[in-house]
Structure 1
Amino acid sequence: MSRESAPRHPTLADVAAKAGVSGSTASLAFSGSGPVSDATKERVLAAAAELGYAGPDPRARSLRRGRSGIVGVVLEERVRAAFLDPVKIRTLDGIAEGIAPLGAGLLLLPDLGEGDSTVSIESAPVDAVVLLWCGLRSAQSVEALRSRGIPTVAIECAVGGGIPRITIDNLEATRRGAEYLRELGHERVAVVALPLDTVRTRGPVTAEALAGATNEVTLERLAGAREVYPDAPAVETAASSIEEGRVAGLALLDVAPGERPTAVIAQSDLLAAGVIQAAEELGIDVPGELSVIGFDGIRVDGLQHDLTTLDQPSAAKGRAAGEAVVRLLAGEEPESVAFTSTLHIGDTTARVAG
C-alpha cells in the first residue's frame, strides 16, 4: 500500500503567482514596508486568504535580519511579584513604547540565581537587554551579557562603564522629603526600607546588613533620609508591597507612645500604604499622630488618603531605556539619562501635635 504524501503548505511564491505579482511585491505587501498600492496589497492578501497562506515564516525573517526581534528585561524577582508592583508595570510600559520603532517584543527574564530556568541571560535569544533594579546578581548579569556581546541598558543598577544608565535622584528626592518633615517639626522619624539585596529578609537595618547591601535604590533612599535624620532607625522589608509595609509598620508603631516615631519615611508608596494600615489597626491617627511619606507617585487601591510622596517618572524612565536600546542596535552610543522626582504634599503629613 502506498503512503500518502504530506499536504503541501502554500508558499509566498504561490501567493505571488495567484495574485499576478512578483515575489518581492508580494513580500512587500505583507510587510507593509514598501511602495505597494492599496489595490495590489488587497489582491495579494485576497490570494493569500484563498490559498490559506498565513504569512512569511517569522523564523526565516529573523535569520535574514540577523536578529530575534526580542528585547529582554532582567528582573531579580519572580515575574508575578513584578506584575504586582505598579511602578514596574509603568516602567515596562515605557520600555515597550521606547522600543516600538524596532517592532520587537519584550521577554521577561527572572534572574534569581537558582539555575533552573530553561531561558536565562546566558541562553535567551535576545537582541538587547534592559537590567531592571538589579542588586546582588548585577555583576554576574553584566558579565554574562558582555561575554555574549548583547547590548545592555541599566535602569537604577550599579554597573560598570560602557553601559548607559537610566536613573532618578533617589538620594536627593528622599532628602527633600525628610527636610519637609523637619519643617513640620518632626524629630523622631523612622524609615521603612525596600530590600537591601535579593536575600529579601525582614528586620532592623544594622550596620552589618548595610555593609553587605547591594540594592542601590534602597541605599540611596536611606542615605537621603539620614542626611537629615542621621540616627533614624530603619526596618528592611522583603518586597515593595502593602503587606510588607504593614508588618514593618506594626514593628515600629506597636510600642509605647513616647517611643514610637511621629513620622515614617517609606521607600515606596505600597510600603507607605501598609504603614498607614498598621497605624489604623493600632488606633493611631494619620496625620494627627503619625505623618507618612512614600516614594513613587502611584495610585494605591484602597488607600483613603492623598499620600504625601516623591513622585517619580516611572514610564519616562522605561521609555528612555527603550530609546537607548534602539540607538544601541543602530550602532550609536546613547548617553545615560537622569530624571528628577517631585514632592507631592498630600494629607498624610502634618505638623507634630503640640
Structure 2
Amino acid sequence: MSAQRTTLADVAASAGVSVSTASLAFSGSGPIAEATRSRVLEAARSLGYAGPNPLGRQLRRGRSGIVGVIMGDALRRAFRDPVAVQVLDGLTSTLGPLGLGVLLVPGPNDPSQPAVDPLLESAAMDVAVQMWGGTTDDPVLGMLRRRGTPTVLVEGTPQPDVAAIGIDDHGGMTELTQHLLTLGHTRIATVTLPFDRDRREGPADRARLGAISWEITRRRLAGVTDAGVTPTVVYETPASLVENGAAAGRALLSAADRPTAVVCQSDLLASGVVLAARELGLRVPQDVSVAGFDGLDLPWLAPDVLTSVAQPLAEKGAAIGEAVAELLAGRAPEPRVLPVRLRTGTTTGPVPRRR
C-alpha cells in the first residue's frame, strides 16, 4: 500500500485499535497506554503512513498555527536592517517551541502601492504582529480589527484592544541628547526615520514636522526636543539604511553653518553620517560628533564605535512572542516597555573650538 493512499483507518486496523485511539497515538496526549501508542506508531511505519493531515488537524482545533508578521516595509529593505533581523530572530525563537509558524507580510515598496497588502484580507493567522510605524488610524490595524484578529502592536501607540510591546526610545533619545549637551554642543541636527508612508527625503519644514504619523519617529524626535534642544535641521529619510544616512550627512555637513553634532534615530543612519564626514575630510568626533540609536555591532565602521542608545533587540522579539502566547491562551497581556541604555563610543566628543 502506498504512503499516499494509506489512511489513519488503515493504521488503526493494522494495530488492532479504533480510529480514535490511533488518533490519540499521533496527538502525543490523551489517555492511551504507552504500549498501545508504540503499536500504532509501528503499524504506521510499516505502512508508510506519515501522520494525520495537518490541515485537518488545524481545522479541528480551529487554529491555523500561523502568526502573521506585518513588516511595515518592503522586505528588500527590512532584511538589510540588523534591527529587524534580530527582533525577528528573538520572535521566531519563542514561537518555534509553541509549534507556531510565521507568515511574513511585507509593506509597500513605494507610496503608489496599497497601504494594506491584500494577503491580510484572506490569509489564515491566529495572531497578527504589526511591526514598526503603527498609528491610531493605521489602515493595517483597521483591517485586523475588522477581521477580529488578535494583534500585538510593536512600538506603536498602546490601545485597549491590542497587546503593546515597546521600548523607552523617548527616554533614550533624551539621555543621548543630554550627553551631547554636557559635551558643550548647542548646534545639533537630527536625522530621522520616515515620517509616514510617503517616505520623503530632505530637511523638514514646520508644516512637515506637524504631519508626522509614525509613532516611532515622533517619539524619538520628541526625546531630542524634550531635552531642551531645537535641532538646527530635522532631516527626514525614506528608510533606515546606510546610504540614506550618508545622503543626509553630505547635506548637513557640507553646509557653511554645519552642526557640531548630529543625532540619528538609528545606527545605520548614524553610520552613514560618519562615512559622509570621512568623505568630506571631517574628523569624528574632533570636527563633528555623531550619535545613533539601536546599539548595533558594526565592525565595518572601525576604528569608530558609535555612541548609541542600545535597545534589547532579542529580548524585544521574545517579549513579542510571549504576548502572542498570551493572546492564544485567551489572556490580555499588559503593555510592556523595555528599558534602553546609553552606550558611549568614540564618535562623540567635546564641541570643536571655532577656528
Query: Higher mean Cα deviation, 143-152 or 222-231?
Result: 222-231
* Structure 1 Cα separation of the partners of residues 145 and 342 of structure 2: 38
Question: Which residue of 1 is the match for residue 275 of structure 2?
Answer: 277
Q: How does 1:70-109 map to 2 (within 5 A)?
A: 70-100=66-96, 102-109=98-105
Aligned to 1:157: 156
CA distance in 2, matches of 1:193, 1:116: 21
| Deviating more after overlay: 28-37 vs 319-328 | 28-37
1:45 Cα offset (Å): 4.0
After TM superposition, give the deviation of residue 83 of structure 1 in Å. 1.4
**In structure 2, what is the equivalent of residue 332 of structure 1?**
331
1:241 aligned residue: 241
Matched, 1:52 2:48: yes
What pairs up with 1:286-301 in 2 under 5 angstroms? 286-301=284-299
| Residue 187 (1) aligns with residue 186 (2) | yes
> Residue 240 of structure 1 contacts residue 270 of structure 1 at CA under 8 Å; is this kept in 2?
yes
Q: Deviations over 1:209-255 (max 9, x none)?
A: 12221111111111111223124311111100111111111111123
Once the two structures are TM-superposed, the CA of residue 335 in structure 1 deviates from its matched residue by 0.9
**Contact 2:311 2:340 (C-alpha < 8 Å) held by counterparts:** yes
After TM superposition, give the deviation of residue 291 of structure 1 in Å.
1.2
Is residue 26 from structure 1 mapped to residue 25 from structure 2 by the alignment?
A: no
Counterpart selection for 2:106 from 89, 106, 110? 110
Match status 1:344 vs 2:343: yes
Distance 2:115 2:37 in 1: 47
Deviation at 1:314, TM superposition (A): 2.0
Q: SS state of the match for residue 27, structure 1?
A: helix
* Alignment of 1:166 onto 2:165: yes
How far off its partner does 1:266 sit? 0.9
- Cα distance, 1:40 vs structure 2: 5.7
Instruction: Determine if contact 1:166/1:320 at 8 Å carries over to the other structure.
Output: yes
Measure, in 1, the Cα distance between the counterparts of 2:251 and 2:320.
Answer: 37
| Residue deviations 1:242-281 (CA, integer Å, cap 9, x gap) | 111111111111233xx21111101101111111111111
Following the alignment from structure 2 to structure 1, what is the Cα–Cα distance between the partners of residues 347 and 160?
41
Partner Cα distance (2:224, 2:282) in 1: 23
TM-score w.r.t. the length of structure 2 is 0.89
The SS at the match of 1:295 is strand
1-side partners of 2:233 and 2:117: how far apart?
42
Q: CA deviation at 1:44?
A: 4.0
- 13-22 vs 145-154, which moves further: 13-22
Structure 2 residue aligned with 1:178: 177
Runs of at least 5 residues in structure 2 that lack an aligned partner in the other structure: none
> Is contact 2:191-2:264 (8 Å) kept?
yes
Q: Unpaired segments of 5 or more residues in structure 1?
A: 1-5
**What residue number does 1:3 align with?**
none
The answer to whether residue 7 in structure 2 is matched with residue 11 in structure 1 is: yes
Distance 1:273 1:37 in 2: 61
Moved more, 312-321 or 30-39: 30-39
Q: What's the secondary structure of 1:346's corresponding residue?
A: coil
Q: Secondary structure at the match of 2:93?
A: helix
Q: 1:137 to 1:335 in 2, by over 3 A?
A: closer
Of residues 61, 64, 74 in structure 2, which corresponds to 1:68?
Answer: 64
Match of 2:265 among 264, 267, 271: 267
Whether the 8 Å contact between 1:155 and 1:317 is mirrored in structure 2 is no
Instruction: Name the residue aligned to 2:143.
Output: 144
Structure 1, residues 18-61: CA drift from partner, whole Å, max 9, x if none?
A: 34454344334433335767766555444333322222111100
User: How far is the alpha carbon of 1:95 from its aligned partner?
Assistant: 2.2
- Structure 1 residue 197 displacement after superposition: 0.6
- 1:352 deviation in Å? 2.1
Say which SS state the counterpart of residue 221 (structure 2) adopts: helix
Aligned length: 347
Q: What SS does the aligned partner of 1:353 have? A: coil
What is the one-letter code of the residue matched to 1:302? W
Asked if the contact 1:111/1:120 (under 8 Å) is kept, the reply is: no
Residues 137/51 of structure 1: CA separation in 2 closer, same or farther (3 Å cut)? farther
CA offsets 1:169-206 (integer angstroms, 9 cap, x no match): 12211010010011111121111111111111100021
SS in structure 2 of the partner of residue 302 of structure 1: helix
1:153 is paired with a residue whose SS is strand
Kindly indicate whether the alpha-carbon contact (under 8 Å) linking 1:93 and 1:315 is maintained by their aligned counterparts in 2.
yes
Bigger drift between 321-330 and 290-299 goes to: 321-330
Q: Which amino acid aligns with 2:74?
A: R
**Which secondary structure does the structure 2 equivalent of 1:64 belong to?**
helix
Change (3 A) 1:7 1:298: closer
How far does residue 117 in structure 1 lie from its aligned partner after superposition? Answer: 8.3
